[in-house]
């Protein structure tokens, strides 16, 4: 099907120079408010201070490597609540700091309360529900503040924020594992809570918006016209498929390593390596998304390479060195997708009120994928073990599923811009006898 047949979708929409597209975002905010000059955007002390503070909060309070049912509950709440919380933030923007002052201590309280929990249900409530709601309440107000400071370089800013969990994921697992072995679970949670209080508490006063809190930043109304465009649904399907496959390696790589005779420490090293590579990948793709690189290229290239890495360097791996190569490749390319969200939002709609809402819907889609990944992966695991077989036999289904999700995520975008009739004519011409 030609691009023009897919809802009259124009390829140029995916190749907008980032400057012309992203400068439309929050353009109303570039004027002085009531005659008062605003802090510089896309640079300057205030913008970098805000981004650094948001980075620290993201790195320390968002544990993307917590893959138990408790962690899935917390992250699932954060993802799925985005389409609800973001419109509220836009409507009541002057209460953003109030939300931060409620959400931040709720996270810490969830950790402390979890240290006294005696049952799985209590742990899910404290570390899953309490922590998840707390994180949601303070994270999205912070992100909305970042949006006001970073406009034409928002891809870089989002890439940096996305990489924060990679920075913490490279170091924190070793410290947490040492604390668990030395002091046990309850004490470890209390130490983490105290550490978060000491490291993030002094930074809260730095979380200030670029616009005066008493002034509405933009109209509270959101233009939802982008929901009617094929482009939004193409990206949403791609994003959902990516979310369904993306989490499988971090879920199963440590146990896959032990199934092949490696130690639990090797599994931690593999995840830490993936986190380090994730930092580089998300910074790189965030930077590229601000440049004049077609967004369809930024989506299809990392998903394709991540798919190949899953099928080969994970599925065929039986040694630590090969799995290390997989961690490097997958961390760089697999994680790079999320860093393109800022550019995706401007491709979906150039309306200032729509970009942040579109971001929330992308978050929701990834959250659905995150929640589905666990049950689907568990159902695909088999009881049989064959160390010399593909995926050690037990993980074969998981690997094939993850790789297929990566492939379909990129293909759902790429195939929409292939002129099938031209491709068919070219193929027939090639096959025609000379």
pTM for this entry: 0.79
**Domain boundaries, position 408:** 1-28+223-434
Residue 35 inside a domain? The answer is: no
233 in the same domain as 123: no
Taking Cα atoms as reference points, which of 360, 364, 349 lies closest to residue 25?
A: 349
Domain with residue 124: its CATH number is 1.20.1250.20
User: In the prediction, which pLDDT does 355 show?
Assistant: 83
Burial of 397 by CB count in 10 Å (0-12 exposed, 13-18 middle, 19+ buried)? middle
Answer with the one of 217, 250, 275 that is the final residue of a domain. Answer: 217
Task: Please say if the pLDDT value at position 369 is more than 50.
Answer: yes
CB 389 within 8 A of CB 263: no
Q: Is 131 contained in some domain?
A: yes
DSSP string, 217-285: SS-S----GGGGSHHHHHHHHHHHHHHHHHTHHHHHHHHHHHHTT--HHHHHHHHHHHHHHHHHHHHHH
SS3 36: strand
Q: What is the pLDDT of residue 377?
A: 86
Whether 320 and 333 have beta carbons less than 8 Å apart is answered as: no
* Residue 19 confidence (pLDDT): 43
H/E stretch holding 21: helix 18-22
Query: Where are the alpha helices (H) located in 290-395, listed in sequence order?
Result: 295-309, 320-336, 341-348, 355-380
State residue 417's pLDDT score. Answer: 63
Comparing C-alpha atoms, which of 56, 74, 51, 54 is closest to residue 123?
A: 74
* pLDDT at residue 428 in the model: 56
Least confident segment among 109-113, 215-219, 332-336, 401-405: 215-219
210 and 196 in one domain? Answer: yes
- Pick the more confident residue, 432 or 188: 188
Rounded to whole angstroms, how far apart are CA atoms 239 and 243? 6
Q: Mean pLDDT over residues 374-400, rounded? A: 84
Q: Same domain, yes or no, for 287 and 166?
A: no
Identify whether residues 24 and 46 lie together within a single domain: no
Q: What are the C-alpha distances in Å from 380 to residues 201, 248, 375?
A: 43, 11, 9
Q: How many CB atoms lie within 10 A of CB 5?
A: 12
Residues 48 and 22 in one domain: no
Element (H, E) at 193: helix 185-200
pLDDT for residue 34 is more than 80 = no
| 270, 203: one domain | no
Identify the DSSP state of 353.
T
Instruction: Give the domain-ending residue among 192, 217, 242.
Output: 217
DSSP 384: -
Per this entry, what is the length of the chain? 434
The DSSP call for residue 312 is I
Q: Is 184 helix (H, G, I), strand (E, B) or coil?
A: coil
Mean pLDDT value of segment 126-152: 90
Mean pLDDT of 279-304: 89
Under the banding of pLDDT at 50, 70 and 90, the label for residue 40 is: confident
Provide the pLDDT confidence category of residue 70 given band limits of 50, 70 and 90. Answer: low
Are 84 and 199 in the same domain? yes
* Higher-pLDDT residue of 220, 321: 321
Task: Enter the DSSP assignment of 311.
Answer: I
Contact 271, 171 (CB under 8 A): no
**Which ranges of 23-153 does DSSP label H, i.e. alpha helix?**
45-61, 69-80, 82-91, 96-114, 120-123, 131-149
Give bridge partners of residue 33 from the DSSP assignment.
36
Provide mean pLDDT across the span 179-184.
88
Q: Which of 36-45, 112-121, 398-407, 420-429 has the highest mean pLDDT?
A: 398-407
Residue 189 host element (H or E): helix 185-200
Number of domains comprising the chain: 2
Instruction: Provide the pLDDT for residue 163.
Output: 84
What integer pLDDT is reported at residue 8 of this predicted model? 37
Average pLDDT of the chain is 81
Residue 2 backbone dihedrals phi, psi, to 5 degrees: -70, 160
In a domain, 34, yes or no: no
pLDDT above 70: residue 30: no
pLDDT at 9: 38
Domain co-membership, 203 together with 229: no
pLDDT over 90 (residue 100): yes
Is the pLDDT assigned to residue 6 strictly greater than 80?
Answer: no
CA 387 to CA 410: how far, in whole Å?
Answer: 31
Closest among 82, 29, 16, 64 to 352, alpha carbons compared? 29
pLDDT of residue 425: 55
Query: Does residue 291 register a pLDDT over 90?
Result: no
- pLDDT number for residue 430: 54
What are the backbone angles phi and psi of residue 33, rounded to the nearest 5°? Answer: -100, 120
Same domain, 428 and 306: yes
């Amino acid at each position: 099907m030609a691009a023009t047949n897919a809802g009259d979708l124009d390829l140029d929409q995916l190749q907008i120079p980032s400057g012309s597209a992203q400068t439309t975002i929050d353009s109303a905010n570039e004027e002085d408010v009531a005659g008062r000059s605003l802090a510089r955007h896309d640079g300057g002390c205030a913008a970098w201070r805000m981004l650094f503070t948001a980075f620290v909060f993201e790195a320390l309070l968002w544990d993307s490597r917590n893959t138990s049912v408790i962690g899935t509950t917390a992250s699932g709440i954060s993802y799925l609540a985005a389409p609800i919380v973001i419109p509220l933030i836009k409507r009541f923007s002057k209460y953003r700091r109030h939300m931060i002052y409620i959400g931040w201590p709720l996270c810490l309280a969830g950790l402390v309360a979890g240290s006294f929990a005696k049952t799985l249900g209590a742990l899910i409530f404290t570390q899953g529900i309490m922590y998840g709601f707390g994180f949601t309440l303070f994270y999205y107000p912070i992100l909305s503040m970042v949006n006001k400071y970073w406009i034409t370089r928002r891809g870089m800013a989002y890439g940096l924020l996305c990489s924060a969990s990679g920075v913490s994921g490279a170091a924190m697992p070793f410290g947490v594992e040492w604390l668990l072995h030395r002091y046990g679970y309850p004490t470890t949670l209390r130490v983490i809570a105290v550490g978060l209080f000491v490291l993030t508490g002094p930074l809260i006063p730095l979380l200030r918006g670029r616009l005066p809190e008493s002034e509405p930043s933009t109209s509270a109304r959101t233009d939802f016209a982008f929901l009617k465009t094929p482009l939004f649904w193409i990206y949403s399907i791609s994003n959902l498929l990516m979310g369904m496959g993306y989490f499988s390696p971090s879920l199963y790589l440590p146990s896959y390593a032990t199934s092949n005779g490696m130690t639990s420490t090797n599994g931690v090293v593999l995840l830490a390596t993936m986190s380090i590579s994730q930092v580089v990948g998300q910074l790189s793709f965030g930077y590229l998304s601000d440049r004049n690189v077609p967004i369809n290229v930024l989506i299809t290239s990392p998903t394709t390479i991540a798919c190949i890495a899953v099928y080969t360097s994970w599925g065929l791996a039986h040694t630590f060195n090969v799995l290390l190569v997989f961690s490097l490749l997958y961390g760089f390319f697999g994680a790079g997708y999320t860093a393109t969200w800022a550019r995706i939002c401007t491709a979906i709609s150039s309306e200032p009120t729509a970009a942040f809402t579109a971001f929330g819907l992308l978050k929701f889609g990834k959250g659905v994928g995150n929640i589905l990944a666990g049950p689907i992966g568990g159902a695909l695991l088999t009881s049989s073990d064959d160390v010399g077989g593909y995926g050690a036999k037990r993980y074969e289904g998981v690997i094939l599923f993850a790789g297929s999700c990566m492939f379909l995520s990129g293909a759902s975008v790429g195939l929409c811009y292939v002129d099938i009739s031209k491709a068919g004519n070219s193929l027939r011409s090639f096959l025609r006898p000379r």
